[in-house]
Amino acid sequence: MNPVFFDMLMNPTDGPYWKERSPCTNYDKIKIPVYCGSGWYGHTITHLTGAFRNYAGVKGPKKMIISGPYFRGQEHPLALSWREYHELMIRWYDHWFKNKDTGIMDEPPIKIFVMGVNKYRYENEWPLKRTNWRKLFLRANGTLSAQPETTFEEPHCFVQIPPTLIKDIQSLEYTTPPLAEPVEVTGPLALCLHAAIDQDDTNWIAVLKDISPDGSERELTRGWLKASHRALDAAKSTPWLPYHTHVNPEPVKPGVIYEYAVEIRPTSNVFDVGHRILLEICNLDLPAPIYMTERGPQTSHLACGRTVMHKVYCNERYQSHLILPIIPKSDPSQWINTSNL
């Protein structure tokens, strides 16, 4: 039994329960230096989002590190070793507790691991100022394109049966052609989806993957949105980072086309030459092998208990699209070795 889990289920909307426990309502009270940290593969739980939100919210001295891959129960060759994490913490604590000049506050405030090239890099802000926000439109032939669909009218459809009745996960996939040059995607992402369902609610799940020339897939990040929680706070939202209020869920009217702004957890990856960017849209969480436990795979969201027909629209009127943070080619001097952390 997990009382905290049941408490969360009993409080599905924002309100006193969450405000009492959230650091977001107490940032003005935080006066001490703060070091935030997570890894890109913390996207299936709250660690990754929490690190970025806390870093943005804290106003005093602060730093942040987002590390590389980590597999529960074992270290990954590209992740920081425990020794390197400890050395980093000692430099931080020696600076603030012992007044030692460790040089840690002379360094840029953010360190991120860039997947694909598998190197660390310093940054000064988040999102990066040099970001080029690009739209990739969902097209009728299952492609992602810089040009929107202008002719195709029929929606793309998939039907998801509850996992209690079937184990198959249905989805839609959209991919770019093989890339002619490396493309770096670093920052927050979002999916603007025009869609209809035949029930009063569903889960929209967007998954971003790197597809290598041999066809192997590497999941980078994903985002979730319960259809009834689609309401946005316009003042707090940007096209690439929608902010959902989660206060007054509104059931979906079956058959009506709504616009859903799906927040996708931030990532950093260089898609190499010949690789493809893939967007998958589904209704169920996939088991995440990086979060395997002794009891089986850890998933993140409760499944919808009904069979749902999903219709995604990609035409001249309803231009569903993915918003990507494209980063210009980095100066080689920006890259740093793990041992320098």
Residue 68, domain CATH:
3.40.50.1820
Residue 158 sits in the same domain as residue 45: no
Residue 105 sits in the same domain as residue 179: no
- Side chain identity, residue 38: S
For residues 315 and 152, the answer to whether their CB atoms sit within 8 Å is: yes
**Two structure tokens written together for 203:** 């889960």
Residue 81 sits in the same domain as residue 19: yes
HSE-CB at 215 with a 13 A cutoff on CA atoms is 0
Residue 249 sits in the same domain as residue 168: yes
Reduce the DSSP state of residue 329 to 3 states and report it: coil
**CA–CA separation, 286 and 289 (whole Å):** 9
Q: Any idea which residue has 């009904």 for tokens?
A: 306
Q: Which helix (H) or strand (E) holds 57?
A: helix 47-57
Residue 142 sits in the same domain as residue 117: no
Residue 163 sits in the same domain as residue 307: yes
Q: pLDDT digit string (tens) for 63-115?
A: 999 987 654 444 455 555 667 778 889 999 999 999 999 999 999 999 999 99
Residue 185 sits in the same domain as residue 307: yes
- As a whole-number percent, the residues of the chain with pLDDT over 70 amount to 87
> Are β-strands 132-138 and 321-327 bridged in parallel, bridged antiparallel, or unpaired?
antiparallel
Q: pLDDT digit string (tens) for 324-335?
A: 999 998 666 566
Task: Give the count of domains, the chain.
Answer: 2
Q: What is the mean pLDDT of the chain?
A: 88
- Side chain identity, residue 62: K
User: Does residue 178 have a pLDDT over 90?
Assistant: yes
**CA–CA separation, 219 and 210 (whole Å):** 6
> Could you tell me the residue range of the domain that residue 47 belongs to?
3-125+331-340
- Between 22 and 46, residue with greater pLDDT: 22
Residue 145 is part of a domain; what is its CATH number? 2.60.120.260
**Two structure tokens written together for 139:** 């097209």
Residue 276 sits in the same domain as residue 336: no
User: Does residue 4 have a pLDDT over 70?
Assistant: yes
Its pTM stands at 0.90
- Between 163 and 90, residue with greater pLDDT: 90
> Are β-strands 144-145 and 156-160 bridged in parallel, bridged antiparallel, or unpaired?
unpaired
Residue 85 sits in the same domain as residue 60: yes
pLDDT value of residue 69: 67
Q: List, in order, residues 6 or more apart from 264 with CB less than 8 Å away.
A: 188, 189, 190, 191, 206, 208, 221, 222, 223
Residue 153 sits in the same domain as residue 264: yes
Q: pLDDT digit string (tens) for 188-239?
A: 999 999 999 999 999 999 999 999 999 999 999 999 999 999 999 999 999 9
User: Does residue 301 have a pLDDT over 90?
Assistant: no
